Structure 1
Amino acid sequence: MDPDSSSPACDSISGAFHCTRGKKMTRFLCTAMASMTIAIPFAGPALAAVEPSFDLSDPSTAPFPSDRFTVPDDPGDPNNTGLRVDLPMPDCASRPGDCSNIETVNKLDGFNLLPRISIPFSGAIDPASVGSRSVFFVRLGTAVRRDDDQDGEDDGGDAEQRESRVIGINQAIWDPATNTLHAHADELLEQYTRYLLVVTTGIRDAGGAPIEPADRFERFLHDDGARHGRDATLERYRKSLRRGLERAKERLHLHRRSIAAASVFTTQTVTSVLERIRDRIDASTPAPATFLLATDPAVPGPGTARALFSASAIEKMVFREHVGFSTLPSGDRAPKFTLVDRTPSVALLRIFDGAVGQIAFGKFAAPVYLAGDGLIPIVGTLAGIPAVQQTGDLHFTLFLPSGERPSSGWPVAIFGHGLGQHDKNLDVFTIAGSLAAHGIATIAINFVGHGFGPAGTLALTLLPGGRIVSVPAGGRGEDRNGDGIIGPQEGFNLVPPGLIVARDSRSQSAIDLMQLVRVIQVGMDADGDGVADLDASRVYYVGQSLGATVGIMAVALDRGIRASVLNVMNGLQYEEFRLGTVFRPQLGVALANRIPRLFNNPSASCPGNGCAAFDENLPFRDQPPLTNDVAGAMGIQELLDRGEWVSMQAAPIAFAPHLRKEARPDVPARPVLIQIAKGDQTAPNTSTSALLRAGDLLDRTTLFRNDLAFAAPPCSGGAGKPCVDKDPHRFLTRTDASRTAPNFAIALQAQEQVATFFASDGSTIVDPDGAGGPLFEVPIRGQLPEELGYIP
């Protein structure tokens, strides 16, 4: 909220704020004051006033989040915030699910950047009186320790001169069963920053009277500590809360008697550890990538031939998928394989006949930070950096354009693949031709857990003569659950997934991308002539789905990526689980299997075909406050909040501001293009819109109107064929559709936008179907989509 010195005078108004002309105040705040001026006629005997609860013994009995439920960090391995979350543990025998979740949360150094707030009351309130004028956040300042801060004081960011900001709430829901108000922050909060959560007397009780300031809140603020036996945690929190209220009063002219309750909390660190890993990568000089890994009958020795082939010479490509293990009579395990014909993928390169000149397969050494349990070891966020657990080989597939190589090498786009079977040897073939037609090379690696097992190979039948050459496929899957099977993405998610699911696998995959950039920078020589084939000064990134959600971390932090395209990116992991049609049933299973069980639809079978039918009763944005009448919904909402909280370190929404709005230190803002699709059933529009708001990226976003494509001929709303996919999630890579299908033409148009963007070094964004075309909005016209818009 920007300061507005021209706001009208608002003297002598009985409200949460006081402002005068000439002060750095906002019109929003003055309006808030006026809205809280309420006349209450005498109506007989006084009833007990409703007030917020302020019992600091439990998170459910006072405004939350709150630094009351933190402890000082480990001084030997400190955090940016100086804190560690310390929620009280439940009875682990009867509530093992809650116990496990809180153990995970308690390792963080602060609270969620998009928090769900909870405010309990002594009685019923009028939900219609709840809004951003009666409940809001005040940004107090950074919580990061300073070198000159040796006094042990809780300074609350007092050395920072940035303007305090007021942030409202959204998605409010009143739970009458517990007399608790829940809501979400209206926007993404900043990492490692201290905030004041303010509850005002602008909230009315069920009878229309203003709520009263909480008596225990007032007593806590004015208590000298003797009543609590000088409890160090409570003393620290009392001091922090007093400072926060004083700061808000000074900067925003808050009227103290109109504050019914408040809390101070500190947000968690997101980027710091990953930035230090990036710096370690940047300071290293890795060995160049090697291409001598093919087994060719014309070359003596297995795995010694150069894996560089003319694209036109590949007649056939068969993927020998490493899909698991069989147990031998000796008890040893032998790999099991399945043969899959990937020749149709090679054929996609010929859409632009002759554009791709050569295909190469190579590998490079990369640091692995994931430990055997699938987690990156936790370190202090102030200065810590995890130990490298091992060094492993990462395999890549490289597509070089036809024609004479530029003197500085080919510009190159790193392609990030989607989730599941979409590995480095599949979807990249759908776009490499479009990029090569613009003189841009394409390179792809497998993300953690993808490409099936490590023993897989690709068998290439070459013309002339039909010689068969094999190369390692570079699979990174593993049999994580011990059932002898390696699934399409097994090794990506934790087993059991817990709250973390794939957070650290995403981070490791982003680290892998940064290592790939560094390997390109030291020189990548595919043909062995001693000259780099790729231009290290023109490295771009294009990611689809998972490739975008992983790629945004690398793009935001790696200076070596010059421009990027992020396609169908999900903003929040648990919103994808909750609203995505693929993942919602899986979330339902997790709710049903949990102890205590959270699946709350007794008429639906789960496990079974009814697992998507749970009811979390969470409103979309910008809706009036909702009164909850669904049993069990609040427990699901709490789990979703904790899941997003834990996942925030690898959440795309947390990195979106750093693309350009708030670029990280020493990382310049660079050109970025976002592509999304109306009615995406895998990356729901509501989640992506949250990311676009967080990064101020509306003007950089292209919207594919799948709803219009579905309604238009030849599909005509499903009556005709061929038709576009109802779920447009793969609209960028659907050149694998029939050439007469609408999806094919749409994919080529979207790819042309990507290729033109990179060819212009990020300076040109074309409208894929022309200025008058209806199917692509460049940029989005109107408001961000805040509904799902699924085609049934």
Structure 2
Amino acid sequence: MTHRSRRRTTAAVVSALAMTFAITATASPSLAAPPKANPVSLFPTDTLTVKDKAQLTGRRVNLPRANCGEPISCGLVAELNELDGFDLDPRIAVRFNSAVDPVDAASRITVRQAHGGWSTGVDRVVWDPATNTLFAHPAEQLAPGTTYSLEVAAGPANKGRQTTFTTMSATDGLLDMRQQIDSGAAFASTGIAPGLRIEGVFPAAGTTVQLVQDTSTTGDDTTADVPVPQAATGGTLVFGSFEAPSWLGPDVTIEQTPTADDGPRPVDADRLPFVAVLPSGMMPDGGWPTAVYGHGFTRSASDVFLAATVNARSGIATIATTVVGHGFGPDSAWQVTPLGQPATTIPAYGRGVDQDGNGAIASTEGSSATGAAAAQSSRDALRQTAADVMTLVRSLGGTDVDDNGTVDLSGDEVTYFGQSFGGIYGTMVTGADPAIARSVLNVPGGPITEIARLSPAFRPLTTASLQAAGLLNSDDPTRNFFQEQMPLRGEGPVTVTAPGAVEIQEFLARSTWLSRPGSPETFAPLIEPERVIFQIAFGDQTVPNPTSYTVIDAGDLWSRTSLYRNDLTPQKTTNPHGFLLNLAQFTAAALQGQTQVAAFLGRGQVIDPDLTSPVWEVPISDPAQLLDLNYEAPALRP
């Protein structure tokens, strides 16, 4: 894959201004005329790889394992040493033999494609005076399976140096899984066939739904009402299941296989739930146009009732399944009560498990790797979920919901839309699977490690990860007990002052590197612009704006990005992350957002849902708006 040619956004100007300001703001008298410094080491470098003909790149990472730190950090190194190259957004490290001006030194670093004219500078610069090391990241995401030259140009204050490095085949695993689905090999090896099993059909009008949640291994379940908005009534609710190949092991990981082969093999088959909302009225020949809905973190397929509100009255059927580790335990069930009739109980096929052995099954328990594989986080659960969606898409054709001899759900031109977590794995699905005709991806971001670090809601997860690695370096609870001192994209250089900050930066960078094959920004460059719309909420506190920037910029998809300006509404002090489905608090925004979804999925039309009002920018007027966190309350900043 080559880099998509792009017209640089205002972000580049902002970055340049930040660097210019930093020259006057940070340069000290002692560095005004430093002695000529010699770069003594560069990272990444192919000298830290070994030859491996089983890999697409012909290489395999070989990081030193001596003095790797706590067991979890050593395990991380061992996992990285199975990969066939370096990260697509590597943490560049240039160590000098004496101090340098970080701004001047950073301006002399270039990452250049070894076989081609593409090149980029660096951003997110950190200077560590204790080791005379300059850390940075490429200003743009690199392509997978590609060799680059890392160059430090000589200047008045420093000598030059150069090395080459090769990036990992980050998209390979999921693409192999999709190929196994398309060829039928994944179904043959697990003894299943694609198709939907109908287990309950009910009129939407007057029907109530409850989800009996299997939350305990002792059998003490809880029951939650599932809202079925009146706007979706008049059609049909369909409950059922389908079988899907599973590549996940018990520790919620997928085997790392050499990239030159056909990928990991399925290890099992799972029966997964689906819930669908069919419109009312005259069904088109061949069945209703069908959109797959991807739900958010902590949620389940029950969110399809909220997500189908505008689709249903636009003649689009909406279907959803439940994500790996969600929907509580396997004994979860739907209780469906049509008006004036007794309740019917239908299996909900919950995908949660009691990972920690405490007897309880939480709403996301089972969605992250466990034990020694914990550093892989949700990488493989996301890849499996993406494969589940691919299987669901291929299970739609020929579905006869009411057994009357007619096809109710069309398997042609299937579309997708997802919210939050659903936007994250939806980006992966859209990039990896051309069977998805069009997608709307609502409030996605990446990588997951950055969402966790920057979001007030998820930052404690980073605390737990760093604690397990023995890397917490602060007693300040307002910072969640760690100081990482990492700049955002476009900000000026940061000089490390907090002991342990460099080690935290390295751990987070390596964790991100390991998780890249299951991260949305990896697959964004594979999406043709005409197939997608991104919906981003200004000031999102759950999936912070800089992480959305990362995903969209990776694919240069700014012309396909809509910005919901929550700060211009009466709800400006409320976290806008869930606006698309929050019909009670964000009524106007939810209906506007879903109207944009239905117009694009149904007709391929990109509309501004509030016309001349400034609340929606279609497309976004200035991508640099997403470089900042944009939190209304400054105290929320990490």
TM-score (norm 1): 0.73
**What is the aligned partner in structure 1 of residue 507 from structure 2?**
639
**What is the aligned partner in structure 1 of residue 636 from structure 2?**
none
Q: Which amino acid aligns with 1:340?
A: A
Alignment counterpart, residue 440 of structure 1, candidates 308, 316, 320: 316
Q: CA deviation at 1:288?
A: 5.4
Deviations 1:668-709 (A, max 9, x none): x65210000111111111111122111111110000011111
Alignment counterpart, residue 769 of structure 1, candidates 593, 610, 632: 610
Q: CA deviation at 1:552?
A: 1.3
Deviations 1:252-287 (A, max 9, x none): xxxxxxxx1111110001222322221221122863
Cα distance in 1, alignment partners of residues 614 and 196 from structure 2? 47
Alignment counterpart, residue 344 of structure 2, candidates 466, 469, 476: 469
Alignment counterpart, residue 677 of structure 1, candidates 537, 545, 566: 537
Alignment counterpart, residue 161 of structure 2, candidates 261, 264, 276: 261
* Greater RCO, CA 8 A, separation 6+: 2
Q: Does the residue aligned with 1:130 lie in a helix, a strand or coil? A: helix
Give yes or no for contact 2:86–2:166 (8 Å, CA) kept in 1. Answer: yes
Cα distance in 2, alignment partners of residues 290 and 615 from structure 1? 50
For the pair 1:136 / 2:110, whether they are aligned, the reply is: yes
For the pair 1:617 / 2:485, whether they are aligned, the reply is: yes
Question: Which of 581-590 and 693-702 deviates more?
Answer: 581-590
Cα distance in 2, alignment partners of residues 352 and 725 from structure 1? 30
Give yes or no for contact 1:413–1:443 (8 Å, CA) kept in 2. Answer: yes
For the pair 1:402 / 2:280, whether they are aligned, the reply is: yes
Q: Which amino acid aligns with 2:503?
A: G
Alignment counterpart, residue 750 of structure 1, candidates 583, 590, 593: 593
Cα distance in 1, alignment partners of residues 232 and 365 from structure 2? 34
Cα distance in 1, alignment partners of residues 233 and 369 from structure 2? 43
Deviations 1:308-335 (A, max 9, x none): 1111141x32221101212xxxxxxxx3
Cα distance in 2, alignment partners of residues 543 and 336 from structure 1? 32
Alignment counterpart, residue 301 of structure 2, candidates 411, 416, 424: 424
For the pair 1:321 / 2:213, whether they are aligned, the reply is: yes
Deviations 1:696-727 (A, max 9, x none): 11110000011111xxxxx4xxxxxxx45621
Deviations 1:99-124 (A, max 9, x none): 12211211111000011100101111
Cα distance in 2, alignment partners of residues 2 and 732 from structure 1? 30
**What is the aligned partner in structure 2 of residue 351 from structure 1?**
231
Give yes or no for contact 2:416–2:601 (8 Å, CA) kept in 1. Answer: no
Cα distance in 1, alignment partners of residues 264 and 408 from structure 2? 33
Q: Which amino acid aligns with 1:518?
A: R
Q: Does the residue aligned with 2:42 lie in a helix, a strand or coil? A: coil
Cα distance in 1, alignment partners of residues 309 and 396 from structure 2? 21
**What is the aligned partner in structure 2 of residue 514 from structure 1?**
390
Q: Which has the larger radius of gyration?
A: 1
**What is the aligned partner in structure 2 of residue 67 from structure 1?**
46
Give yes or no for contact 1:499–1:642 (8 Å, CA) kept in 2. Answer: no
**What is the aligned partner in structure 2 of residue 246 from structure 1?**
none
Cα distance in 2, alignment partners of residues 649 and 352 from structure 1? 37
Give yes or no for contact 1:733–1:747 (8 Å, CA) kept in 2. Answer: yes
Q: CA deviation at 1:364?
A: 1.2
Cα distance in 2, alignment partners of residues 401 and 48 from structure 1? 73
For the pair 1:480 / 2:355, whether they are aligned, the reply is: yes
**What is the aligned partner in structure 2 of residue 175 from structure 1?**
128
Change (3 A) 1:261 1:411: same
Q: CA deviation at 1:498?
A: 2.8
Cα distance in 1, alignment partners of residues 120 and 221 from structure 2? 55
Q: CA deviation at 1:746?
A: 1.0
For the pair 1:786 / 2:627, whether they are aligned, the reply is: yes
Give yes or no for contact 1:589–1:611 (8 Å, CA) kept in 2. Answer: no
Give yes or no for contact 1:288–1:524 (8 Å, CA) kept in 2. Answer: no
Change (3 A) 1:707 1:518: same
Cα distance in 2, alignment partners of residues 374 and 85 from structure 1? 23
TM-score (norm 2): 0.90
Change (3 A) 1:702 1:321: same
Cα distance in 2, alignment partners of residues 788 and 364 from structure 1? 40
Q: Does the residue aligned with 2:410 lie in a helix, a strand or coil? A: strand
Give yes or no for contact 2:197–2:242 (8 Å, CA) kept in 1. Answer: no
Residue pairs, 1:669-708, within 5 angstroms: 670-708=530-568
Q: CA deviation at 1:538?
A: 2.4
Residue pairs, 1:58-207, within 5 angstroms: 62-73=41-52, 75=53, 78-91=54-67, 95-132=70-107, 134-141=108-115, 163-202=116-155
Give yes or no for contact 2:246–2:270 (8 Å, CA) kept in 1. Answer: yes
Q: Which amino acid aligns with 1:84?
A: R
Q: CA deviation at 1:611?
A: 5.7
**What is the aligned partner in structure 2 of residue 365 from structure 1?**
243
Change (3 A) 1:752 1:48: closer
For the pair 1:599 / 2:472, whether they are aligned, the reply is: yes
For the pair 1:458 / 2:334, whether they are aligned, the reply is: yes
Cα distance in 2, alignment partners of residues 292 and 619 from structure 1? 51
Change (3 A) 1:280 1:98: closer
Change (3 A) 1:91 1:183: closer
Give yes or no for contact 1:83–1:109 (8 Å, CA) kept in 2. Answer: yes
For the pair 1:281 / 2:181, whether they are aligned, the reply is: yes
Cα distance in 1, alignment partners of residues 324 and 85 from structure 2? 27
Moved beyond 6 Å, runs of 4+:
none
**What is the aligned partner in structure 1 of residue 457 from structure 2?**
582
Q: Which amino acid aligns with 1:108?
A: L
**What is the aligned partner in structure 1 of residue 370 from structure 2?**
495
Q: Which amino acid aligns with 1:364?
A: F
Identical residues among aligned pairs (%): 38
Q: CA deviation at 1:476?
A: 0.6
Cα distance in 2, alignment partners of residues 563 and 136 from structure 1? 36
Give yes or no for contact 1:291–1:526 (8 Å, CA) kept in 2. Answer: no
Give yes or no for contact 1:369–1:386 (8 Å, CA) kept in 2. Answer: yes
Cα distance in 2, alignment partners of residues 507 and 733 from structure 1? 25
Change (3 A) 1:559 1:624: closer
Aligned length: 596
Q: Does the residue aligned with 2:375 lie in a helix, a strand or coil? A: coil
Q: Does the residue aligned with 1:647 lie in a helix, a strand or coil? A: helix
Alignment counterpart, residue 39 of structure 2, candidates 52, 63, 68: 52
Give yes or no for contact 1:138–1:195 (8 Å, CA) kept in 2. Answer: yes
Give yes or no for contact 2:173–2:517 (8 Å, CA) kept in 1. Answer: no
Cα distance in 2, alignment partners of residues 365 and 2 from structure 1? 37
Give yes or no for contact 1:367–1:392 (8 Å, CA) kept in 2. Answer: yes
